[in-house]
Structure 1
Amino acid sequence: MRFGLVAQDVGVALRDAGRSVTSWCRRHTIGGDGAVAAVRRGLRQGESGTLSREQELELIDVLRGVHPDEFGLDEELWTRQSLTTLIQRRFDLAMDAGTVGAYLRAWGLGPREPRERACGLCVGAVERWVRLEYPAITRAAQEHLAEVYWIGRVRLRGTMPAADVISAVSSRGRVRFMITTPTVDPPLPRDFVLRLSGAEERTAHLIVDGSWPKNEWPRRLPRRIVLHPLPSCGRPVAAA
């Protein structure tokens, strides 16, 4: 009887530990890569050709939950080009593409190595995945003339309410993104995934990092959209 109680206690402890690892992994993935107050990244706010802090916060609020086509812009998701146009219209500010790119980098967007998308516990698994499985994804994309995107989520610091930036970075380094107000365990937005395929309904291979377990992925997607999980220590627990 005593052995049974001990075994039960150990089982509970292991389960709780697994949940803690999962939670830590996901916090690492989404927690704190981005920041408002881009002056920390070399942008001097208020100077000619830059946004003030108030303008930056206003811009983030304007972007929440809306897409470029709602402003009459010919883009499915926000890019450096469409954001440059919106800044020009809203603030009468002609900002060069390099400066807009610096804001996106300050927000935590831009190309990252696969290992940078993993917590410390997942790095080895991600490196093996890149070596053994990623080449097959790129070959399939080439055969279907498809684009490969790396999808992740960043929590912006310095906004009220908080803001999440969901981004897709193509294998060519092009960034597409949307900004949302975070909720408890938000799923990977179906609208975001569909918009990556574009009005032309292009085939797309999407590599999803540990920001979302598979049970938070959209279901019944068109066959032209293929989702691939990046290894994460949180995934086995979420699937159990």
Structure 2
Amino acid sequence: MGVALRDARRSVTSWCRRHTIGGDGAVAAVRRGQRQGEPGMLSREQELELIDVLRGAHPDEFDLDEELWTRQSLTTLIQRRFDLPLDAGAVGAYLRAWGLGPREPRERACGLCVSAVERWVRSEYPAITRAAQEHLAEVYWIGRVRLRGTMPAADVISAVSSRGRVRFMITTPTVDPPLPRDFVLRLSGEEQRTVHLIVDGSWPRNEWPRRLPRRIVLHPLPSCGRAVAA
């Protein structure tokens, strides 16, 4: 009976995590039905090339003054690489198609965890925002989306601030990849800002980076996977 219960819990955990990281990110050209060479937009080939360029790379490697990718730094990179001046709205459309952007807390949970997340928002989240205000800190919601339409596959790891600002990186997924330490540190920046990071069910606690500076505070969003991993 005990083995059966453990197996059932593992199955639920696996399903919940697939729901969390599966997302709905897709190559934007495919999502919009864009025709190759359409004026003022990237062709599908250019978009796939852009995704490959972004894999594991950060803006400072391209002499851009950003720790992580933002809409502004991505706009500059597209201009330089493809000689294509896209406006902020067009670049924002790509980011939304990749599954990036503000989401309600309940949208970061599987169906089994929605009630727990809603209770957490009422009981725990206000204390996080108060602590952030006291330390002049930023609050970010961290999650992961698997991009469809790329080969090899790509994961987009994003942090969305409480003000709606998106910062992200693209990686090639491995089996149960941990939350990248470099990503977390870069959210604090060279100024070593205090940040409060709310981590969704994409990563259980044992996949979080360890021995982080005290200025970086991680908070788990309730999830089935976290309950099993604890």
Quote the offset at 1:40 in angstroms: 2.1
Quote the offset at 1:41 in angstroms: 4.2
Structure 2 contact 29–43 (Cα < 8 Å) conserved? no
Q: TM-score, normalised by structure 2?
A: 0.98
Aligned counterparts of 1:204 and 1:32: Cα–Cα separation in 2 = 25
**3-state secondary structure, aligned to 1:35:** coil
Aligned counterparts of 1:42 and 1:143: Cα–Cα separation in 2 = 47
Structure 2 contact 157–170 (Cα < 8 Å) conserved? yes
Does 2:15 match 1:24?
yes
Structure 1 contact 162–181 (Cα < 8 Å) conserved? yes
Quote the offset at 1:43 in angstroms: 5.5
- State which of 193, 196, 200 in structure 2 corresponds to 1:202: 193
Aligned counterparts of 1:137 and 1:56: Cα–Cα separation in 2 = 38
Quote the offset at 1:144 in angstroms: 0.2
Q: CA RMSD in A?
A: 1.1
Structure 2 contact 71–88 (Cα < 8 Å) conserved? yes
Aligned counterparts of 1:31 and 1:115: Cα–Cα separation in 2 = 15
Alignment of 1:63-82 (within 5 A): 63-82=54-73
Aligned counterparts of 2:168 and 2:220: Cα–Cα separation in 1 = 19
Aligned counterparts of 1:74 and 1:180: Cα–Cα separation in 2 = 20
Q: In structure 2, list runs of 5 or more residues that go unmatched.
A: none
Aligned counterparts of 1:45 and 1:84: Cα–Cα separation in 2 = 19
Quote the offset at 1:11 in angstroms: 1.2
Aligned counterparts of 2:33 and 2:87: Cα–Cα separation in 1 = 15
**3-state secondary structure, aligned to 1:33:** coil
**3-state secondary structure, aligned to 1:212:** coil
User: Once the two structures are superposed, what CA deviation does each residue of 1:163-221 show, in whole Å capped at 9, x if it has no partner?
Assistant: 00000000000000000000011000000000000110000000000000000000000
Q: In structure 1, list runs of 5 or more residues that go unmatched.
A: 1-9
Q: Which moves more between the two structures, 91-100 or 41-50?
A: 41-50
Aligned counterparts of 1:41 and 1:174: Cα–Cα separation in 2 = 23
Aligned counterparts of 1:65 and 1:123: Cα–Cα separation in 2 = 32
**3-state secondary structure, aligned to 2:178:** coil
Quote the offset at 1:32 in angstroms: 3.7
Quote the offset at 1:128 in angstroms: 0.1
Taking a change above 3 Å as real, the CA distance of residues 42 and 139 of structure 1, as seen in their structure-2 partners, is farther
Taking a change above 3 Å as real, the CA distance of residues 224 and 42 of structure 1, as seen in their structure-2 partners, is farther
Quote the offset at 1:46 in angstroms: 2.7
- Which structure has the greater CA radius of gyration? 1
User: Once the two structures are superposed, what CA deviation does each residue of 1:25-82 show, in whole Å capped at 9, x if it has no partner?
Assistant: 0000011420014352475653211000000000000000010000000000000000
Q: How many residues in Structure 1 have an aligned counterpart in Structure 2?
A: 230
Taking only the aligned residue pairs, the percentage that are identical comes to 93
User: Once the two structures are superposed, what CA deviation does each residue of 1:143-168 show, in whole Å capped at 9, x if it has no partner?
Assistant: 00000000000000010000000000
Aligned counterparts of 2:192 and 2:33: Cα–Cα separation in 1 = 39
Q: TM-score, normalised by structure 1?
A: 0.94
Aligned counterparts of 1:112 and 1:42: Cα–Cα separation in 2 = 24
Aligned counterparts of 1:166 and 1:179: Cα–Cα separation in 2 = 6
Structure 1 contact 44–50 (Cα < 8 Å) conserved? no
Aligned counterparts of 1:71 and 1:167: Cα–Cα separation in 2 = 20
Q: Which moves more between the two structures, 26-35 or 45-54?
A: 45-54
Aligned counterparts of 2:208 and 2:95: Cα–Cα separation in 1 = 25
Q: Which moves more between the two structures, 32-41 or 204-213?
A: 32-41
Quote the offset at 1:133 in angstroms: 0.4
Structure 1 contact 37–158 (Cα < 8 Å) conserved? no
- State which of 5, 19, 24 in structure 2 corresponds to 1:33: 24
Runs of 4+ in 1 over 3 A off after TM superposition: 41-45
